Amino acid sequence: MNQWQGVLLSLVGIIATVWLGITGQLGLYIHPRYFVFTIIMAVIAAVLVVVAFAVVPRPSDEEALLDTGGRRGRWLWSAGSVLIIVAAVVALLVLPPSTLTSATVKQRDLNGSASTLTQAEASGLVGGDYAAFTVRDWSSLLRQGAGEDFFADKTATVTGFVTPDKSDPENVFFVARFFVSCCAVDAQPIGIPVYYPGWQDEFKTDSWVTITSGFKMNPSAISDEQIVLVPDTITPTERPSEPYVY
C-alpha cells in the first residue's frame, strides 16, 4: 500500500489535470501560461505511472518495514495514507470544479490591494478603446483617481460576479472579478461599484451579471465609493469560461 501511495496520488492528480484541460476548466485554478507545461508533465507522468505498474517489483518486507518504522507504526501510517488518498479523490475527482466566492473577496480586501496595473499602464489606458475595457481596466482607472470629468461621458460594458459593498451593502454592490498572477491562491478581487438599491432582491451574491452603464457620482451617502455605475437594467449571465482576469 505505502509503496503505491505516490503512484495512486499521481494518478489522481494526472486525471484531474487532464480532465480539467480537456473540459477547458484549468483556468479555474492556474494561469493560462502554465496550461501547456502542466498538460505535458501530466502526460509524461502518466506514462511513468503505467511503466511503474508494469515493472516495479513487489517490495520486500524489509523495505516495507523501513518505510513505516516497524510493525507497530504500520497501522497508523496506513490509516493516514488512506485518508490522504480518499481526500485527494474527493477533492479532485468527485467535487465539481468551482471558482472562488465572495467569502474570499471578504478576506482579501476588494480593490484595496490590487490595482493590478502600474500607474504608467493605467495612464496608457486613457484614450484607449473604452468599449473593450474590462473590469480590470475600469477599476484601475477608478483607483488611480481619474476625476468625475473623465468618467462623465464614458460608458462601460462589463461582466463580473456580484459582491456586496462593505460600507453600504443595501444600495451598492461591486461587479467583480479575481485577478490571478499564478494560480487561484494569489487571486485578488477587483471590482467596479454599482449603485442599484435593492439589488439583493434580484441578484444573489456570486451570481454573474453583465452591466452597460455610464458613471455617476455615488448617490449613496454612506458608501465609501465616489464614482459608481448607475445602470437601468442588469442582465444576468452565465459564468464565463475564463472567470479570472490576468
Q: Between residue 206 and residue 245, which ones bind another protein under the rule CB under 8 A?
A: 206
**Residues 78, 88, 123, 230: which binds another protein (CB under 8 A)?**
88
The least CB distance from residue 118 to another protein, in Å, is: 7
How many residues bind another protein (CB under 8 A)? The answer is: 90
Q: Tally Cβ neighbours within 10 Å of residue 11.
A: 20
**Residues 155, 167, 181, 226: which binds another protein (CB under 8 A)?**
181
Residue 165 CA to its chain's centroid (Å): 20
The least CB distance from residue 84 to another protein, in Å, is: 5
The reply on whether position 139 binds another protein by CB under 8 A is no
Stretch of 49-57, 149-157, 211-219, 220-228 contacting another protein, by CB under 8 A: 49-57
- Cβ neighbors of 167 (< 8 A, separation 6 or more) are 222, 223, 224, 225
Check if the beta carbon of residue 225 is closer than 8 Å to that of residue 243. no
Stretch of 182-190, 194-202, 209-217, 227-235 contacting another protein, by CB under 8 A: 182-190
- Tell me the C-alpha distance between 32 and 141, whole Å: 25
Q: Which set of grid coordinates corresponds to residue 32?
A: 493560462
- Tell me the C-alpha distance between 213 and 70, whole Å: 69
The reply on whether position 135 binds another protein by CB under 8 A is no
Stretch of 5-13, 126-134, 149-157, 214-222 contacting another protein, by CB under 8 A: 5-13
> Using CB under 8 A, which residues numbered 52 to 71 contact another protein?
52-58, 60-63, 65-67, 69-70
CA angle 193, 207, 102 (to 5 degrees): 65
Q: Which set of grid coordinates corresponds to residue 131?
A: 468599449
Stated as kind and residue range, the H or E segment containing 45 is: helix 35-55
Stretch of 76-84, 124-132, 148-156, 224-232 contacting another protein, by CB under 8 A: 76-84
The least CB distance from residue 89 to another protein, in Å, is: 7
Q: Tally Cβ neighbours within 10 Å of residue 21.
A: 17
The reply on whether position 155 binds another protein by CB under 8 A is no
Check if the beta carbon of residue 197 is closer than 8 Å to that of residue 164. no
The reply on whether position 131 binds another protein by CB under 8 A is no
